[in-house]
């Protein structure tokens, strides 16, 4: 009985790097304030890795960006976002409010690695050829992408949730992408037929 009680107060959480950086700190603060006796064990990985983990029952709950349907998982959206184009403040686009897809394709591009939700979103918007070009650099960290753009090395499409601080500080300039579907959805995923623990249900309640 004691072991069952401990399991109910423990959450194995998987989360994508972007959400771990820009959503998790405040979410965890609120969670611990309301539920100080619950334990959270956190695994960080890209969307594909995390969906495999929850399907294999290695984690109880995952928070990811724009996940595809999975036969073993129940996927529930909890927040919407959009992609923006970011450039350095000295870039020639820094005086503009929007750019076209073709303009972005013609510039050196930074994006995330295959398997990540951002890579899939950028591929959907720009096409696979843009990500296979010699001028495209793929990095495993969103922060690294932003630093490269700040240094004037190219442009990037990135989630709106990730650039608020830099835009407010004038370190980056954000533009809308004209004529493109730039929507992003964040979702939580659980294994079908598996009831979440008390700890998991408490975290989901904060997302709704």
Phi/psi region, residue 179 (left: phi>0; alpha: psi -120 to 50; beta: rest), is: left
Compute the distance between CA of residue 34 and CA of residue 99 in angstroms, rounded to an integer. Answer: 44
Average pLDDT over residues 172-186: 92
In this prediction, residue 46 carries a pLDDT of 87
Helix residue spans in 39-162 (DSSP H): 47-55, 101-105, 117-126, 128-132, 142-150
Please state the pTM of the whole predicted model: 0.82
Q: Does residue 31 contact residue 203 with C-beta atoms inside 8 Å?
A: yes
Q: If 0-12 CB within 10 Å is exposed, 13-18 middle and 19+ buried, where does residue 60 land?
A: buried
Q: Which CATH superfamily is domain 2-79+185-207 in?
A: Periplasmic binding protein-like II (3.40.190.10)
Q: How confident is the model at residue 2 (pLDDT cuts 50, 70, 90)?
A: very low
- The pLDDT, as a whole number, for residue 128 is 95
Strand runs (DSSP E) across the chain, as ranges?
A: 10-15, 39-44, 61-65, 73-87, 98-100, 109-112, 136-139, 155-159, 173-178, 183-191
In this prediction, residue 22 has a pLDDT band, given cuts at 50, 70 and 90, of very high
3-state SS assignment for residue 159? strand
As a whole number, mean pLDDT of residues 103-117 equals 94
Q: Which residue has the higher pLDDT, 181 or 104?
A: 104
Mean pLDDT of 184-203: 94
Q: What is the pLDDT of residue 182?
A: 84
Residue with structure tokens 């960080």? 44
pLDDT of residue 7: 57
Mean predicted confidence (pLDDT) in 79-98: 97
Residues 114-121 have a mean pLDDT of: 90
pLDDT per position as a tens digit, 54-88: 999 999 999 998 777 788 899 999 999 999 999 99
Q: Residue range 20-38: average pLDDT?
A: 96
Query: How far is Cα of residue 53 from the mean position of the Cα atoms in its chain?
Result: 17
Identical topology for domains 2-79+185-207 and 81-184:
yes
- Return the pLDDT at 66: 72
What is each CA distance from 4 to 1, 30, 187, 192, in whole angstroms? 5, 25, 28, 21
Q: Residue 168: is its pLDDT beyond 80? A: yes
C-alpha distances out from residue 91 to 87, 134, 137, 183, Å: 6, 21, 18, 25
**C-alpha 154 chain-centroid distance:** 21
Q: Which residues of 99-120 are buried (b: 16+ CB within 10 A; e: fewer)?
A: bebebbbebbbbbbeeebbbbb
For residue 193, pLDDT over 80 is answered with yes
DSSP-derived secondary structure letter, 58:
S
- On the question of pLDDT at 3 being above 90, the answer is no
| Domain parsing of the chain, residue ranges | 2-79+185-207, 81-184
Average pLDDT in the chain: 93
Architecture of the domain whose range is 81-184 = 3-Layer(aba) Sandwich (3.40)
Query: Taking 60 as the threshold, does the pLDDT of residue 206 lie above it?
Result: yes
């Amino acid at each position: 009985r004691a072991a069952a009680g401990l399991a109910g107060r423990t959450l194995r959480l998987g989360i994508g790097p972007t959400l771990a950086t820009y959503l998790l700190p405040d979410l965890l603060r609120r969670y611990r304030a309301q539920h100080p006796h619950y334990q959270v064990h956190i695994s960080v990985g890209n969307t594909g890795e995390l969906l495999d983990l929850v399907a294999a029952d290695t984690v109880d709950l995952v928070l990811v960006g724009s996940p595809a349907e999975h036969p073993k998982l129940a996927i529930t959206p909890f927040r919407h976002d959009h992609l923006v184009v970011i450039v350095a403040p000295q870039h020639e686009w820094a005086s503009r409010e929007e750019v076209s897809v073709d303009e972005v394709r013609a510039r050196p591009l930074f994006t995330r690695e295959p398997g990540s939700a951002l890579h899939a979103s950028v591929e959907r918007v720009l096409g696979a050829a843009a990500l296979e070009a010699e001028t495209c650099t793929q990095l495993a960290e969103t922060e690294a992408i932003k630093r490269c753009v700040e240094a004037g090395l190219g442009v990037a499409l990135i989630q709106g949730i990730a650039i608020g601080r830099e835009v407010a500080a004038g370190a980056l300039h954000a533009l809308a992408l004209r004529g493109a579907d730039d929507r992003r959805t964040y979702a939580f995923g659980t294994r079908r037929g598996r009831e979440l623990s008390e700890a998991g249900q408490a975290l989901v309640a904060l997302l709704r």
